[in-house]
Every structure is written in C-alpha cells, then in structure tokens.
Structure 1
C-alpha cells in the first residue's frame, strides 16, 4: 500500500509539471509490482497518452487491459477531460460496454467491509473516529491517512463501501445505500467495542467527506462532529438538518487546499453552516490539490481535540 501511495505522489507530481512522458515511464515500470492497481494505472496511462497526442495508443492500452481481464470506471473514462480525445470514439464505447458487463458481474459479489483499529489502552470512555474513503478508493488506500488517530487513544473504524466504482475501487454514489451501510456498521461497532457514545466523530475525504458531514448533521449516527477533507455535499442535502445539529452542539472541521477543485463548494458549505451558528473551522492549505495533506496526522489531532473538547 505504501508503495502505491508513493507511486501516486510521484505520478501526480510529474503530471502537475506536465512531464507526461516521464510519468508514463514511471507507471509502466511500476505495473508489474502493483497488480491490485492495474486498472487504475492503465487508466492513467491512457490519460497521459491522450495528453501527448496519442489517442490511438491510448485506446490500445485500454483494450489491452480488457484482454488481461481488467475493466474500467465509466465515470472516469467519460468524465475525465484528459481523455477528451477518445471520448467520442466507437472503440471507447465498446470498452465501456464490456466494462459495464464485468462491473455488474463483480458487483454481485461485493459486500461492505469494516475494519477497526484499537488504541493500546481503551475503555468505555474511549472516543471513536469512523471514517469514509474517497470515491474510487478502498480500505487499503485510506488506512494510512487516518491511522494516527489510534496513537492518540482513539478507536478508528474504516468502512469500505459496497458500491463498486472500478476494480478494487469503491464509491458512495447511492446515498441511501451508503447511509444504510454506515448505520449497520455503527450497530456492529456498538456491540463489539467499548467506545464512548458521546465522543463519536465522523470523518471522510472527497465524496466520503460529504457522506460524513451528512450523517453527522442528520444524526443518522449520533456524532459529536465531523472532519471533512477536500470534500463536502451540496448545501441542499443537509440544510434541513442544521438547526437540530446546532442544538446538539455538533462541530465540524473542513480541510482543503488552495489548488483543490472542491474548494469553492467546501467554502460555501462552511459559510452556510458557520453563518447559521454551527461551530466549525476551515483550513486552507497552500499548494494542496484534491488530496490528503502531508501533515494529516497533526491536522487530525487538532481536529479531534476541537470536536471532542468539552
């Protein structure tokens, strides 16, 4: 997992510098060592080839992935502007049709997964942090970013969605399903772990941040607050619930970057809640895009302290 995160950081850095050929070379060298991420890396290869003016080669790479048993996210292939050069091509339509067939077959075998990390010492007074992954991520991607909470004496529970986005990639697209999965997971936690029900915090990144915020404000899960990293839901999704959340003392921490594509939405949500009396904080990090900050452990510690303080 650490190997893939390092690879992703390296590729994204080269992409940001428009060093597409170098990024492509890095991916090609890494593919044999990262089979669990083959579909994602193949997708990135296609993006980089399109950006270098090689749409035919991009399609060949995707078709080669299909031949190896992979399939690809429709949302990503049709929505990523880096793939604009092939999005009207009939070859891509065929790739999408086969990918959808394979996705449906895979989806039938998928169930949500819950993983819990306990601090060294815990009892019925121990806080609980329940966190939700980004769209297109999985448990393994997500653990490193939240694990530092355990060293601070907090139970960490991570939920992987039962909704497939791509191979080894999951999403929270269907909110009703996501809400039910979260409720079921929380019920399991209550029966198996002695955490303090008055000190429950929900966290998430990107799409998972929007889910955490909605569940906290609705009190679907009786949370004391939320931590939203580079993501938030549209205001109409939660405004009907803000008054009761304020009355219950729900707090929130928003973390974004000045290069984050979700920053305008996140700032709007923060203003909507803050102006209505919900106690929350906004952190805007220089040079951070749509990703976790490198100093996530320190920011997580401060956020938890702010939310669970009496």
Structure 2
C-alpha cells in the first residue's frame, strides 16, 4: 500500500465517522518515504482526538516535534482537533509548533518539470492544494507522461507545515507566472489545480495574463477572493470542474459553476459521489 491507497481507506472511513477503522489502517501502514510522516502523523493526531484519546494525541504530537516536524496555526486549527484543544499539554505543544512555523524560512522554491520520453503533445501546469507540495500533485498526474504530456508542478510559497506549502492570499497568480518564466513559458498549457490551487488556476487562466488552452479544476476552493467575476475576466477559456457530492463546499462549487457558465465560456461540470 502506498500513501494514495492509504488515503482511499482513511478518508472515506473518516467521512463515515468510523475513526477507529481509519486509525487501524494508519497504524498498519508502513511508511516508505520519510516525507510522508508529516501527513500520516497529523492524520493520526486528528483521529486520536476524535476518539477522545487525548493523552495519546499529545504523545504523538510530542514525538513528532522531537523529530523536528511542525504544523502551523492554520493546520492546527483543524476542527478534528477541537476535542484536545483545551488540554494544557496540547496547548504547550501547539505553542512550540506554531513558534517553529513562524520561524520557518524557505530557500529557492522551484517548480518541478518532467518531460515525457517521446514526443511532447502538450503541457499540463499543476497547482497543488493547501498543505501539499508540488510532488504530491505531480505524482497523481504521472500517467499523463505516457500520453505525451510535459508536467510542470508549480510551488506554493507559504510554509504551513514541515515540507508543506500553500499559495499566498494575495499575489498567487504573480508567483505562478514567475515560476512559469523560470521554466521557459510553455506554449498554451492546460492548467489544472486541486482545492486552493484550483482557485489560483482559474483566476490566472481567465485573467488573460497567460495564454492557456484550458483549465481543469478538482474540488476547487475559491477562497476569500472568490471565483472570476465579469469585471476580472479578460479571456474565458474552456473549463472543466470535477467535484465530489460530499464536498463540504459543494453548494458554493455548484453556484460558481453556474456563474462561470453565465459568463459565456464552455464550462463542463462533473459531480461524483
């Protein structure tokens, strides 16, 4: 089992409220890549909290802090941790973690650029979600290399946990354009973003600042800036939106899809369970 397979067990069990089943899957999982620890440990803390096992959640938090990991305030605010939030030991550990986040610095953040072995038929520009890293989204699109697509995974610049990033609330599109310049401004790429990255992708594509062939949004989170509006749209492009019917943002996603269709561009909306 790899990490995406673990997610396909843990996340549905979590949605069903079967927290013990999700925790058992995590405890059976053998971590192969040290970079997975920051995600798996956080999921474990959340599940222990939901199960009312406060002492064990604190012990997991302390152990991972001792290993050098940390999570920023926005991550620790997850509602799954509400049950432990008032515990004095948890508060002490959270203060240590948040202090590390505030001190975190990043070196040069470069996009990942992977080309197919044979002829290149096009370029997919990928924008990861909140708390992800470029490699996370690139791995999910890797089969497209076999179809001849070059994959370019852009890099969020706001550290939110050890090795995990988000896009800035302001200027995310400028960050993305700068990284596209770094890899030579691919001709008419297709943008694809997940969650927070989807919001950045659609605003950038429809702004006309980059000549793109289309945009594919997965579980989009449009954030406080919202989706493109008539006064911000310069160039509507073909758009596909894929969402899950159980997504907590589904009502907003449906509404935004209709609003985008009303702006006159071909928008295909696909909702799945």
- TM-score (normalizing by structure 1): 0.79
CA distance, structure 2, for counterparts of residue 67 and residue 154 of structure 1: 42
CA distance, structure 2, for counterparts of residue 224 and residue 262 of structure 1: 27
1:275-290 to 2 correspondences below 5 Å? 275-285=262-272, 287=273
Secondary structure, aligned partner of 1:157: strand
CA distance, structure 1, for counterparts of residue 155 and residue 30 of structure 2: 24
The equivalent residue for 1:83 is 81
CA distance, structure 2, for counterparts of residue 159 and residue 3 of structure 1: 23
1:179-218 to 2 correspondences below 5 Å? 179-190=173-184, 195=186, 197=187, 199-218=188-207
Please, which of 107, 111, 114 is the counterpart of residue 111 of structure 2? 114
Structure 2: stretches of 5+ with no match in the other structure: none
The equivalent residue for 2:99 is 101
Q: How far off its partner does 1:128 sit?
A: 1.9
CA spacing shift, 1:99–1:23, aligned 2, 3 Å: same
Secondary structure, aligned partner of 2:160: strand
Contact 1:232 1:269 in 2 (8 A): no
The equivalent residue for 1:170 is 165
CA distance, structure 2, for counterparts of residue 110 and residue 262 of structure 1: 34
Contact 1:110 1:162 in 2 (8 A): no
- TM-score (normalizing by structure 2): 0.88
Contact 1:186 1:221 in 2 (8 A): no
Give the root-mean-square deviation of aligned CA atoms.
2.3
The equivalent residue for 1:131 is 126
| 1:71-101 deviation digits (Å, cap 9, x = unpaired) | 12321222x2221112233333322221122
| 1:201-257 deviation digits (Å, cap 9, x = unpaired) | 111011111110011111232223211100142575521222x223xxx11110001
| 1:178-222 deviation digits (Å, cap 9, x = unpaired) | 32321112112326xxx5x2x321110111111100111112322
1:12-91 to 2 correspondences below 5 Å? 12-30=11-29, 33-78=32-77, 80-91=78-89
The equivalent residue for 1:301 is none
Secondary structure, aligned partner of 1:174: coil
Tell whether 2:228 aligns with 1:238: yes
- After alignment, is 87-96 or 137-146 more displaced? 87-96
Contact 1:31 1:41 in 2 (8 A): no
The count of residues paired between Structure 1 and Structure 2 equals 271
* Structure with the bigger percentage of helix: 1
